Chain A
Amino acid sequence: MPRSTKPPEAPSAAVVSEEPRRHRGFLALLALVALLTAPLPFAGAPLVLAWGLPLWLWWSLGMTALLSAVTVWGIVRLWRDDGDGYP
């Protein structure tokens, strides 16, 4: 496979661009909510129903909806298209 002859570009220190993964708080929140989607607190416990559905199902669906909201929030608030994208 032929190698490109294009010289490596010099690092840019001037422009800082925004994207969700550069926000540690966002990544930590995303990971935490993803972890909470699994009904771990209910594992091995007896089944409890709430409004006709298992409580663990309400928990998981609620956390999954939260995961969706956090993802959308990350796209809306943390993803901009300024500069070259590198810190």
Chain B
Amino acid sequence: MGNPQLVLLAGGLYVVLLLTLGLLGRRAQPARTLSEHFLAGRSLGFLVLLLTLFATQYSGNSLSGFPGKTYRSGLSYIMSVTFMIGIVSGYLLFVPQLFREARRGRYLTPTDYLTDRFRSPFLSYTSAVIFAVTLCNFLLAQLMALGHAVAGLTDGRIPYAAGVLGGMVVIFVYEWLGGLRAVAWTDALQGLILMVGLALVVGLLMLEVGTPAAVVAQILEVAPEKAANPSLQICLTWLSSFLLLGLGAPLYPQAIQRIYAARRLVELRKALMVMAVMPLFAITTVVFVGAVGIALFPNLDGVGSDQVTFRVLAYLVDVRPAAALPVLLVMMAVLAAIMSTADSALLSLSSILTKDFAARILGYEGSQAERLTRLAPIFSLAVLAGLGSLALQPRFTLWRLLEIKFEVLIQLSPAFVLGTLHHRGDRRAFAARDMTLGLVAGLVVALSAYAAGIRSLGGIHPGVLGVMVNYAAVLASRGLRLRGQGHPPYDPTADPNPTAAAT
């Protein structure tokens, strides 16, 4: 697609920029500590925070996967706009309190909060494993997407394997150099490319294919079922996806670590405000690309539908050769989206292996854990070596196993949402055993359904059913405990400490 020399030149320039930002990130580090490496010294201001949250949340899948989903499901995949906003709504269920706790407890990883709050080795290790598995899934998917994107962008001149390996090396180098500072700065660059790329896509498509109304008119001619009123089952999937993403996605470790890394609350609030509006433009654009794909190429098969973004872009270059440059920028945006998600997942995974496993197994606490700062790049390298080899020879069974990340990750929701609700000294506070019971119950329901081959129950995801059982079990366990202690049933409006109020 486009001039190969120009593509290679743009790609080379982009890599040089990323490595330069890595070097600058290294120079900006006042010291080599875990907090500096993994949280940029808790110094991210509004703009960098916004762009890094944006680039992390909008993965390569959002740009190339969502149009494919729209192509297959039809216009009802506009539900993706709703659930991407739902992620920000989901943050409001625990982030305000988590931000305060993180400042107080100097947390580094999401598991640090759970360890500090519940002091249960089972909960801490189980959650660390869940976070690590989720991140492995994310990273593996991004590495594979990176290989395909580079091969597609260069018309196969750089083969898939070289794309995977080259991307891994670049990501590792800038992350090793500057830690989260470098990752956030490169995310900011990638976020900017993404925004410009998306704006260009809309402009070009409106110019060459027509307005949304014109596209819908074409869809009604070639595939009317894809514009039809959604069925009841689709509406239930819509609501289930909202719950799955709204409760699950805010728990992504890389997202939580960006919350920890915010310089001040006011900047975090501003960034989340913009993030709550962003999907109305960004995801609507992506769905529009899929809709244009239906109108232009109504007979694509499964694999073909996954490539609908690239087909639409190739069509644009065919009908208007002058669009080659903007399309190149869009392609770079896809590459940027993949790399920004991969680098964030890698850094977060490295922090979990360093802090949640190595430091705890070795019994290092507080400043002792700083000894492990030098180990972090070794963990990153080991992770890349392992996942890179899988990306080069994808094994189907493991891939299927990793697919269940959201169904599993969402089961940690009660520990964050309900765990941050009360002071740990409050008699109404949830205890470790409440959370453990809920987590086990939720995991059993979600994984059993998945193992039985159930991907949806009347449109509801197994993970959502699991989390409903999970919340019910946590509330029931706490209710029984309070009743056993002779306390009256829970009344959220009651004064938690009547003695203090009286005195």
A residues with CB within 8 A of B: 1-4, 8-14, 19-21, 30, 34-35, 37-40, 42-47, 49, 51-54, 56-57, 60-61, 63-65, 67-68, 71-72, 74-76, 79, 81, 84-87
Q: In the assembly, what is the distance between CA of A20 and CA of B97, in Å?
A: 11
Q: Which single member of A3, A61, A71, A86 contacts B426 (CB below 8 Å)? A: A86
Q: In the assembly, what is the distance between CA of A40 and CA of B232, in Å?
A: 7
- Across the A-B interface, the 10 shortest Cβ-Cβ residue pairs: A52-B213, A19-B96, A1-B121, A13-B497, A38-B238, A13-B500, A86-B423, A71-B276, A38-B235, A11-B425
> Is the beta-carbon distance between B423 and A51 smaller than 8 angstroms?
no
Q: Given A38-B235, A45-B229, A47-B229, answer yes or no on A81-B89 (Cβ-Cβ < 8 Å).
A: no
Q: In the assembly, what is the distance between CA of A85 and CA of B423, in Å?
A: 9
Residues of A within 8 Å of B88, CB to CB, are 71
Q: Which single member of A2, A12, A39 contacts B230 (CB below 8 Å)? A: A39
The total of Cβ contacts below 8 Å across the A-B interface reads: 165
- Identity of the chain A residue whose Cβ is nearest the Cβ of B236 in the assembled complex: A38
Q: In the assembly, what is the distance between CA of A43 and CA of B124, in Å?
A: 44
**Contact code string B415-436 (vs A, CB < 8 Å = 1, else 0):** 0010010111110000000000
> Is the beta-carbon distance between A54 and B227 smaller than 8 angstroms?
yes
Residues of A within 8 Å of B82, CB to CB, are 34, 37-38, 60, 63-64, 67
> Is the beta-carbon distance between B495 and A54 smaller than 8 angstroms?
no
Min C-beta distance of A87 to chain B, whole Å: 7
> Is the beta-carbon distance between A74 and B97 smaller than 8 angstroms?
no
Stretch at the interface among B265-273, B324-332, B462-470: B265-273
Q: Name 11 extra pairs, CB < 8 A, besides A56-B229, A67-B86, A76-B269.
A: A9-B424, A13-B495, A21-B94, A34-B239, A39-B230, A43-B235, A45-B229, A68-B279, A71-B85, A72-B277, A75-B269
Residues of B within 8 Å of A54, CB to CB, are 75, 216, 227-229
Q: In the assembly, what is the distance between CA of A34 and CA of B266, in Å?
A: 26
> Is the beta-carbon distance between B228 and A75 smaller than 8 angstroms?
no
Which positions 78-123 of chain B face chain A at CB distance < 8 Å? 78-79, 81-82, 85-86, 88-89, 92-94, 96-97, 100-101, 115-116, 119, 121
- Identity of the chain B residue whose Cβ is nearest the Cβ of A42 in the assembled complex: B229
| Chain B contact residues, majority secondary structure | helix
> Is the beta-carbon distance between B230 and A42 smaller than 8 angstroms?
yes
Q: Which single member of A1, A45, A52, A72 contacts B216 (CB below 8 Å)? A: A52
Residues of B within 8 Å of A4, CB to CB, are 115-116, 119, 365
> Is the beta-carbon distance between B232 and A44 smaller than 8 angstroms?
yes
Which positions 118-146 of chain B face chain A at CB distance < 8 Å? 119, 121, 124-125
In this complex, the member of A49, A54, A65 whose beta carbon has the largest number of chain B beta carbons within 10 angstroms is: A54
> Is the beta-carbon distance between A85 and B238 smaller than 8 angstroms?
no
Min C-beta distance of A84 to chain B, whole Å: 7
Q: In the assembly, what is the distance between CA of A68 and CA of B212, in Å?
A: 22
> Is the beta-carbon distance between A53 and B216 smaller than 8 angstroms?
yes
* A-B contact list, 23 entries, CB within 8 Å: A1-B125, A1-B360, A4-B119, A11-B500, A13-B500, A19-B96, A30-B89, A37-B242, A38-B236, A43-B232, A43-B234, A46-B229, A52-B211, A52-B216, A52-B217, A53-B212, A54-B229, A64-B82, A67-B89, A72-B273, A75-B269, A75-B272, A76-B273
Q: In the assembly, what is the distance between CA of A61 and CA of B81, in Å?
A: 8
